[in-house]
Amino acid sequence: MEPVKQTIDTLRKNIEQWNYQYYVLAQPLISDLEFDLKVKELEKLEAEHPEYFDANSPTQRVGSDLNNNFVPVEHRYPMLSLANTYSEGEVQEFYNRTQKALNEDFEIVCELKYDGTSISLLYENGVLTRAITRGDGVRGDDVTTNVRTIKSIPLRLHGTGYPASFEIRGEILLPWTAFNTLNEEREESGEAPFANPRNAAAGSLKTLNAQVVAQRKLDSFLYYLLGEDLPCDTHYNNLQAARQWGFKISDATKKCATLEEVFDFIHYWNTERKNLPVATDGIVLKVNSIKQQLNLGWTAKSPRWAIAYKFQAEQAETRLNSVDFQVGRTGTVTPVANLEPVLLSGTIVKRASLHNADIISALDLHIGDLCLVEKGGEIIPKITGVNTEARFMIGDKVQFIQKCPACGTPLVREADEAAYYCPNTTGCEPQIKGRIEHFVSRKAMNINAGEGTVEAFFNAGLIRNAADLYKINVQDIFGLERWGEKSAQNFVDSIAESKNVPYPRVLYALGIRFVGETVAKRLARAFPTIDQLMAASHEELIDVGDIGDRIAGSVLDYFADAENRKQLEQLRSFELQFALDKEILAEKTNHLEGKTFVISGIFSHHSRDEYKELIEQHGGKNTATVSAKTNYILAGENMGPAKLEKAEKLGVQIINEDEFLKMI
């Protein structure tokens, strides 16, 4: 090797180690001056010898001044959110639920919940190849160029033993000191300060100029390893391995064997967190065993093996000025309080949700009241009480409205619901716009419509329902405010591309009340064409797993509406996908038709959720409880004793994994 190349390689290796010691371990090995001199020496050699350029050189962390175009990327594994709890009682419920589901010993890993912006890092052969934001959980933005500037994130891993390909997730943070400095600079230059470190971190990560990102002094903590060939079978040990590879793993991570140890951790950090250099908003609890995690599985939105305990929200007192009533896409009317501006958890709060008529009644709200406001989960402001002793010259009592504020239709409230809603689904403007906005959203038809697009097209008279979107051409929108020829063409192209969106997502996009993503998938599997779904009876609908009377009634009401059927036929004429893909249909059988299953225990080949999908895919039905109608119990290790006893009493056949897989 040439002497110059050897010098460059040695400098790179040393600077990477010094970076790690300083930014990850907080144990600097050399002075700042010595470090800067070595970096300048490396920069000079690299400039003189461009043939030895390396994108992973520590000198490249300064970023480029070229603009990034953030490209949406699909996550290898969905980035789900955690279910939140706000009391120790709910933590105990989670612990007891986990204990009952596993029916064996387990450990809980407690970690601090850092208040930043989520990131997913992909490494191939020890080198950072991609960094993706959470996005909508299915797709995020590629922000690799910006993340490469963060010095606590290794571009190249240390040591050995890491998988050839893996993903690690964590949080990008802005420490309090850097946050305060940044805001001082923004105020001096006449810019609005960031409200809190979370917003500043998220805004920095999406800044188009990577040199600006490099100057922001972002930091990171990593907390979750994913891949096919992880070094350990427990979450805690995987984190310790990742620490050895150069990742910044929080020292505030504890493995707990009992609920008492979990509470000790929560109590300690509820006070001590205020002394940390970064913002935190809670504690995350995770089942330690990877096998147990797989068997506990996931809901549509979050893992069953983890939960977030949120620290008690900050509260403030302010005056209620007025109440507005907003209409959502499903017709639900939500009351919103207009408040005297007040600082709360780092942001100025001017509005707060009042949720529904029952909440308003319970609070006994009057215009002019001094209200106690807090942030639920420190995100959504809400009114939790009224200072009745401070009442003086107050205004009228707040009453829930009786007619829709948008169209004047009398509001309806179902007996088993807390909310009022407007039944004028086809003539109420906010509902119409809301349904179209839902239709074009990323999880639905993924049409390239930015904020304000639906409003602009509606006001221009171009659309009155979702089907009208497919009639728009470039000439229709080219020339509208903020619409050039290129943006108009991109929109029309995305309309054409949306015709390839699969049937379950099209069904979700229709916006049927109570039909979310998961329910839409279940309905699509049970009724492989839209015609079969439209012809389904109430009994046939509730025979589908997780479909109850409320959802079945909503589906029937939707298809009974003449306007909805008319729009459906229009969408069909534009060749949208209203049938399951042939490949999915080919996997579907009737091997388990008429058979009802209960799943219990811990499995080796598949998780519980995967077995539920297999049962439905092959025509069977899942239920949670054993009854005389149960045909089989699919039993893994440590099957629940109550279910076993009931099965024996009723004579229900118990089968294991291998026997089940032979059946299908």
Active site residues: 113
Q: What per-residue string of b and e applies to 376-408 under the rule 16 or more CB within 10 Å gives b? A: ebbeebbbeebeeeeeeebeeebebeeebebee
Distance CA 309, CA 93 (A): 12
Distance CA 211, CA 282 (A): 32
Strand segments, DSSP code E, in 354-398 are 370-376, 380-386
As given in the structure block, the two tokens for residue 659 are 């026997």
CB 102 within 8 Å of CB 638: yes
Identify the CA nearest to 141 among candidates 119, 165, 156, 158.
119
127-133 β-sheet, strand order = 127-133, 117-124, 165-173, 219-226
Apex CA 468: angle with CA 467 and CA 470, to 5°?
Answer: 75
CB 339 within 8 Å of CB 321: yes
Q: What per-residue string of b and e applies to 568-592 under the rule 16 or more CB within 10 Å gives b? A: bebbeeeebbbbbeeebeeeeeeeb
Identify the CA nearest to 566 among candidates 459, 468, 449.
468
Q: What per-residue string of b and e applies to 308-322 under the rule 16 or more CB within 10 Å gives b? A: bbbbebeebebbbee
Q: Is 348 helix (H, G, I), strand (E, B) or coil?
A: strand
CB 593 within 8 Å of CB 620: yes
CB 245 within 8 Å of CB 155: no
| Residue 263: burial class (beta carbons within 10 Å; 0-12, 13-18, 19+) | middle
Strand segments, DSSP code E, in 227-314 are 253-256, 280-287, 306-310
CB 581 within 8 Å of CB 504: no
Distance in Å from the first CA to the final CA of the chain: 61
Distance CA 611, CA 591 (A): 14
Distance CA 331, CA 516 (A): 16
- What are the Cα distances from residue 372, in Å, to 317, 323, 344, 386? 5, 16, 11, 6
Distance CA 257, CA 107 (A): 5
As given in the structure block, the two tokens for residue 414 are 């179902």
Identify the CA nearest to 345 among candidates 384, 379, 319.
379
User: Which amino acid is present at 184?
Assistant: E
Strand segments, DSSP code E, in 451-540 are none
